[in-house]
A and B are shown apart, each in its own frame.
Chain A
Amino acid sequence: MRTKLTILGLIALALLSYGLYQALVAAPTEQTMGDVQRIFYYHVPSAWTAFLLFFCNFIASAIYLLNRSQRSDAFALATAEVGVVFCTVVLVTGPIWAKPVWGIWWTWDARLTTTLILWLIYVSYLMLRRYSSGGQTPVLAAALAIFGFIDVPIVYFSIRYFRTQHPQPVIAGAEGSGIDPLMMKALMINWLAFIVFGAIVVWLRYKLERARQQVEEAHALREEQSLEQPRVDKPAVDARAS
């Protein structure tokens, strides 16, 4: 397993390095925004990776509700947590890009607001899992994840259905939209690199959660055994004897 992880890590490193080269050197400079537009090659693939991870979380949560398997519960938690990390990257790189281009860090338009709501939904999912101690926590979290996922298509379509400060889609957008093939190549390589990197981090988080579940089970078993053990009573001391 360690060897597989090392190989996957090296592939991710190679892809991320190549992606960085594509983004900073190979991709042409955008005419109106200049070099700051290169934030696009990290901002957009991070958003797409977050959407993909939230979709995996949605599937794993639905499976958990059907079969109550601890594996799907651990996978749901791992994908949600790593998805939140990628969504945080989107919410941090977005304003850094907005400031020099729009002149403001933030505006409450449909795309930005729905993305912030998406982040808050999954942060609340993680907080529920972290701070709730009842036996029903995974069930409640799975239900929240299923309803929370509804926000993903809302975020995606927000720039198509509303007039926003955020640019209109350049990929699969309206007629006449589109980007230079070299820009597209840089974008896709970075997305692939983020997917591979994200998969490794999800795998690590999943293994950690499985280990935590096993330790918790062992603790519960030990407590059960200690309760079952016959009590060795101390010899009764007759108070009258003294």
Chain B
Amino acid sequence: MKFLYAAYAATWIIHIVYLVYLSRGYARVREEARELQQGRSRSTD
């Protein structure tokens, strides 16, 4: 049974790690967009 549980756990660990990587990607892009927006508003002032 330990091999069965190990396989199922490994599957979900892989998917969860990827989802965390995706959420970090979202945070990075959001940050870049915010900086871009700030830069634009500063240049129009």
Interface residues of A (CB under 8 A from B): 20, 35-36, 38-39, 42-43, 46, 82, 85, 88-89, 92-93, 96-97, 99-100, 197, 201, 204-205, 208, 211-212, 215, 218-219, 222
How far is A215 from B31 in the complex, measured between Cα atoms in Å?
10
Let me know if B33 and A35 touch, CB within 8 A.
Answer: no
How far is A88 from B10 in the complex, measured between Cα atoms in Å?
10
Contact A218 to B36, CB < 8 A, known contacts A42-B7, A205-B22: yes
Return chain A residues, CB-CB under 8 Å to B10.
89, 92-93, 96
Return chain A residues, CB-CB under 8 Å to B18.
82, 85, 201
In the assembled complex, 19 residue pairs joining A and B whose CB atoms fall closer than 8 Å, in A order, are A35-B4, A38-B4, A39-B3, A39-B7, A43-B7, A85-B14, A85-B18, A88-B14, A89-B15, A201-B18, A201-B22, A208-B25, A208-B26, A208-B29, A211-B26, A215-B29, A215-B32, A215-B36, A219-B36
Partner of A222, one of B4, B22, B40: B40
B1 at the interface (CB under 8 A from A): yes
Return chain A residues, CB-CB under 8 Å to B22.
201, 204-205, 208
A-B contact count (CB 8 A): 66
How far is A100 from B19 in the complex, measured between Cα atoms in Å?
30
Interface residues of B (CB under 8 A from A): 1, 3-4, 6-8, 10-11, 14-15, 18-19, 22, 25-26, 29, 32-33, 36, 39-40
How far is A85 from B20 in the complex, measured between Cα atoms in Å?
13
Let me know if B14 and A96 touch, CB within 8 A.
Answer: no
Partner of A42, one of B11, B29, B33, B40: B11
Please give me the residue from chain A that is nearest to B10 by CB atom: A92
Please give me the residue from chain B that is nearest to A225 by CB atom: B43
Let me know if B36 and A96 touch, CB within 8 A.
Answer: no
Return chain A residues, CB-CB under 8 Å to B15.
85, 89, 197, 201
Return chain B residues, CB-CB under 8 Å to A100.
3
Return chain A residues, CB-CB under 8 Å to B4.
35-36, 38-39
Please give me the residue from chain B that is nearest to A216 by CB atom: B32
Most central of A20, A35, A39, A97 by chain B CB within 10 Å: A39
